[in-house]
Amino acid sequence: MAGSPRNDFTWSRNTDTESIYGLIQYTDKKDLSRTDIMGLTAHAFRIIIDREEVEVGSYSFFDWQLRHAEALRNLGFTVRTTGRQNHVSPTPEELETALEMIQTSLDAGIPALSWDLFIPEWGVIYGYDDETRMLQCRDVRRDSEMPYEKLGRGEVTELYLLTITDSKPVDRRTMLRGALKLALEHAHVQQFPAEESAGHANGLAAFDAWIHAFEQRMANPFGNAVNTGKVCDAREFAVQFLQELADNGTEPGEESLRQLARQAAAQYAIVAGNLSIMRDMFPFPHGGVPGDEAAATRSIELLKEAKNAETEGIALLAQMLELLEREAKAPVSKPGI
């Protein structure tokens, strides 16, 4: 892999997935690794970019309630969510609903996922004290107490909360099939109509948006650094997920799937490698100088190569899904028949 190689998969820059992993550790599916969760939620294949300047919040420009619920549903979980992505502080009634959800989930032994606890990122709420009216919270900035009344009134005054309410058994093959469907939809279907997208694009179109920002020499140093780090992290997990899938199969009939996964891992390794070069060019937090002529030209080259590899990778994921769909529809042979 070009750029800085990744060998440590015990952490992720994508804080919603990292927080989801934290919740799942307290469920019947605690044996799922971070790599499993990145891959089986399809978050390893996610990319969202603003074409005007790669604004810092590009990575979070999606319908949180919808997308988090469908990702967790693919793992067999039922969730409850509350909050609105509108930069408006919660009403007293909305706050009470959120607090009731937190307490119910924690009383059942499962933390809650929330947004903007100490910084505009996702984190977890893992404790509460009604006497002091304090929550125990953790995100990438801090692990500390927070007053009940501060929930949804952080840096961006936005309430969002997700709790896991139920878990049903799902076999890994079904999870993989669902994840591939989610990945392909994200790659090919824009999640918002143009008039609601605020210049953001997802999937393969996000590479074109990123290239456009560099062509116009408008990439924001901080936003570009943040999003480069997050997308690179996701693709590194994609490589690891696919490589594990290729290496860990044991059934003779799985060889076709393993071979496709191996080929897809090679394509995503190109994407991750190119993005890791950009991550070194535009280090977080100061972000380098993306408007520099040489840096912009090199970035455009790297992104075009990455898009070509991602296109090949997506095509291989589609073949994997087709194989799994055929397998699911095949009649089950019975003993003696």
Q: What tens digit of pLDDT does each residue of 178-223 get?
A: 999 999 999 999 999 989 999 999 999 999 999 999 999 999 999 9
Phi/psi class of residue 110: alpha, beta or left (left: φ > 0; alpha: ψ in -120 to 50)? beta
Q: Which tokens go with 11?
A: 């952490």
Q: How far apart are CA 253 and CA 166, in angstroms?
A: 33
H or E segment and range at residue 135:
strand 134-138
Q: Which residues of 68-80 are buried (b: 16+ CB within 10 A; e: fewer)?
A: bbbbbbbbbbebb
In a domain, residue 71? The reply is no
| Residue 305 CA: distances (Å) to CA of 207, 217, 243 | 10, 19, 21
Q: What is the pLDDT of residues 98-147, one digit of tens each?
A: 999 999 999 999 999 999 999 999 999 999 999 999 999 999 999 999 99
Residue span of the structural domain in which 248 resides: 54-60+171-328
Picking from 149, 167, 185, the residue at the C-terminal end of a domain is 167
Same domain (yes/no): 199, 303? yes
Kindly report the CATH number assigned to the domain that includes residue 149.
3.90.70
Q: Which residues of 279-312 are buried (b: 16+ CB within 10 A; e: fewer)?
A: bebbebeebbebeeeebbeebbebbebbbebbeb
User: Percent of the chain scored above 90 by pLDDT?
Assistant: 92
Picking from 167, 194, 224, the residue at the C-terminal end of a domain is 167
Same domain (yes/no): 324, 273? yes
Same domain (yes/no): 255, 312? yes
In a domain, residue 1? The reply is no
| Predicted local distance difference test score (pLDDT) of residue 169 | 98
The number of distinct structural domains making up the chain is 2
Alpha carbon 204 to its chain centroid, in Å, reads 16
Same domain (yes/no): 233, 317? yes
Q: What is the dihedral of CA 33, 173, 71, 316, to 10 degrees?
A: 100
